[in-house]
Chains A and B, each alone.
Chain A
Amino acid sequence: MAVETSEMTGVEIVDLASTPLRELNRRLHGLADGAPGPRRWRVLNPNGAHAVGCGLDAEIDVEIEGHVGYYCAGMNKLATVRVHGNAGPGLAENLMSGTVIVEGSASQSAGATGRGGLLVVHGDASARCGISMKGIDIVVRGSVGHLSAFMAQTGCLVVGGDVGEALGDSIYEARLYVRGEVAGLGADCVEKGLEDEHVAELARLLERAGFDDLDPRDFRRYGSARQLYNFKIDNAGAY
């Protein structure tokens, strides 16, 4: 197994060109519940592999040097995962806590159903970003695609660029902040005022994401009109 430990840096290095993904994830899972082991990891040559670093449950740092496929850092708890590349669909799906950072762009369904933690995308994210989000905070420096924040329940989606069609369709209580253009709003999603509390919340999120060069007051806020919370036949046309 091509695992090296650098005594100089204290960073455990795993090369996926020669180490099975199963072995990497098995070792990372072994750090749960405070088990002893390296706290800093570097993963080399991911080459688009799926499920890299999924199911982590430890306060560790994982640096992935390259592009990843589907479900990178899926269901992560506590760990900080940084991808020095692009990410495939389902990035950080069902994120529980911790932080996931992608320095490139992310494909569809980034942060889907996430329940906590922070997802940061330096580039763009594709369609369905933040779909069914349940408490996660997502900050995308670039643009996101259509049907982002579909059925978003709680948490914040911050978009520094533009947004595709049907933003926040059937949204519940999530807060959406957009700096650029919105191609269209989904059912029951409306623009709302940007009050001081929202500016403060946005400033905190941008700072955590490392995007504090963006001015919170340049954003607009969107959320639920709450007209579809209980079925009424008069709203049938909205479905």
Chain B
Amino acid sequence: MLETERMRSHDGAWQPGLRESYLFDRNVIAEIQRASREGIYDIRGFGAKRRVPHFDDLLFLGASVSRYPLEGYRERCGTDVVLGTRFAKKPLELKIPVTIAGMSFGALSAPAKEALGRGASEVGTSTTTGDGGMTEEERRHSTTLVYQVLPSRYGMNPDDLRRGDAIEVVVGQGAKPGGGGMLLGHKISDRVAAMRNLPKGIDQRSACRHPDWTGPDDLEIKIHELREITDWEKPIFVKVGATRTYYDVQLAVKAGADAIVVDGMQGGTAATQDVFIEHVGIPTLPATRLAVDALEELGMHRQVQLIISGGIRTGADVAKALALGADAVSIGTAALIAMGDNSPEYDEQYRKIGSSAGFYDDWQAGRDPAGISTQDDELAARFDPVLGGRKIANYLRVLTLEAQTLARACGKSHLHNLEPEDLVALTVESAAMARVPLAGTNWIPGA
């Protein structure tokens, strides 16, 4: 149901003759009124809320007469993946192709970061640091931890670089390609301030460009430096927000990346302008196709691994991303939800701060009743990292089982055996973007 229709019929209050503008619906009107009242753009967390073509617009062609399936509960369907096989001496060997995306200590509480590590480790996958550096809790509880090198270099140091199991050079993220970050002052606790070398309570801006390299040729030299510092042991990922994905992926390969993370516009954020979240970047679906095209053209598909993120929610999303050619996926927003974000348990408290369970996106505000996106000690103490870790592990297992179910139905003995030929599209748009045929036809628009 359209948002406007839902609102119009809310509590049976719809009245004949009252016609809401499609262009200026109540959300738009409320935002104009808020902007004129407060004089500042809306900053929020979460990711894009508009509808864009996504993996939901694809369907699998299960086996039938022309293909035969695998037995759902008896025949093995492999899920393991190795990331960073191109140059690194010690690539990451993961049991499942679903990893935890980078999220900062600062944006998230220390117990939440610990829970992500616990959950990922329990099922044999990796988690990732974020803007602000590595905490002891997440290192201790993460069997495999990817250390991010971001433009701000908050918390950056060679010891943690070497303690990481892989390095991720972050060029951009899907929620805000081309944009920097902002951790608002009310989330700057003493500990966060100390890790970032800044006074407590001030807004901490994260630059949008790296301070010591500017283009792909420089990036190649930067990656070389990181390899030298870590004695060529660690896989080096390059993460880009999805925009000119075809070119970005090719340049990242040229710069020497072992793996590339492509984050579509649905990717989450802790604090970004709403206008940025909703209006910059391309969806994960076409970004996946473009990234695979770029790798295939260079003869580097499967040589340089591709990790896709941005709106991964279900095992179906996982399976479809892999079928299009990704080697793994990353989750961020879904992981927070799995840990308890937006839980009905906290609905009354969400309402007290002007939101509601299912709608809460003020991750920038630091008042999260679930104790996840906060630096308030009292709120953070509500969050049990052991239980949170268990929920993450459960959720990751479900994603994997769901993906395996779909893969077996397509007759695949490993998730990586899924292929574009297993997919059809429900809409003309998604057929064109994913470059698979419109269901019931052999038509791929633009092919």
- Write the residues of chain A forming the contact surface with B, with a CB cutoff of 8 angstroms: 21-22, 25-26, 29, 50-51, 54-55, 57, 69-71, 74-75, 77, 89-90, 93-94, 96, 108-109, 112-113, 115, 128, 131-132, 134-135, 150-151, 153-154, 170, 172-173, 229-231, 233
Chain A residues with Cβ below 8 Å from B4 are none
For B228, give its contact among A21, A108, A112, A134 (CB under 8 Å). Answer: A21
Please classify the interface of chain A as helix (H, G, I), strand (E, B), loop, or mixed, using the class held by over half of its residues: loop
Report yes or no: A113 in contact with B225, Cβ–Cβ below 8 A.
Answer: no
- With beta carbons under 8 angstroms apart, the residue of A22, A109, A151, A233 that contacts B212 is A109
Give the residues from 134 to 157 in chain B that come closer than 8 angstroms, CB to CB, to chain A.
Answer: 152-153, 156-157
Known: A50-B225, A77-B158, A90-B213. Contact between A170 and B205, CB under 8 A? Answer: yes
- CB of B229 within 8 A of CB of A75, answer yes
Query: Which residue numbers of B lie inside 8 Å of A, CB to CB?
Result: 38-40, 152-153, 156-158, 161, 182, 184-185, 196-199, 201-203, 205, 207, 211-213, 218, 221-222, 224-225, 228-232
Structural contact, B203 and A113, CB atoms closer than 8 A: no
> Nearest Cβ in chain A — how far from B220, in angstroms?
10
Residue with the greatest number of chain B CB neighbours at <10 A, chosen from A75, A115, A172: A75
Q: Given A74-B225, A112-B212, A153-B198, does the pair A132, B152 have CB atoms closer than 8 Å? A: yes
| 13 contacting pairs across A/B (C-beta < 8 A) | A29-B231, A54-B229, A69-B221, A74-B229, A89-B213, A94-B153, A108-B212, A109-B212, A112-B211, A115-B197, A131-B212, A231-B182, A233-B40
Are A109 and B158 in contact (CB-based, < 8 A)?
A: no
CB < 8 Å: which of B185, B205, B212 contacts A93?
B212
Q: Complex formed: what's the CA distance from A231 to B271 in Å? A: 13
Contacts of A231 in B (CB 8 A): 40, 182, 184, 203
Closest to A88 in B: B221
CA distance A172 to B153 in the complex (A): 15
Q: Besides A55-B229, A230-B203, 4 other CB < 8 A contacts?
A: A51-B229, A94-B156, A132-B207, A229-B199
Given contacts A54-B229, A134-B197, are A151 and B205 in contact (CB under 8 A)? yes
Question: What residues of chain A lie closer than 8 Å to B205, measured between beta carbons?
Answer: 151, 170
Q: Which of B38, B153, B218, B225 has the most CB of A within 10 A?
A: B225
Distance to closest chain B CB from A155 (angstroms): 9
CB distance from A88 to the nearest CB of B (A): 9
Question: CA–CA, A100 to B297, complex, Å?
Answer: 44
Whether B229 lies near A128 (C-beta < 8 A) is no
For A108, A113, A150, A172, the residue with the greatest tally of chain B CB atoms inside 10 Å of its CB is: A113
If A50-B224, A70-B225 touch, does A26 touch B231 (CB 8 Å cutoff)?
Answer: yes
Query: By the criterion CB–CB under 8 Å, are B203 and A229 in contact?
Result: yes
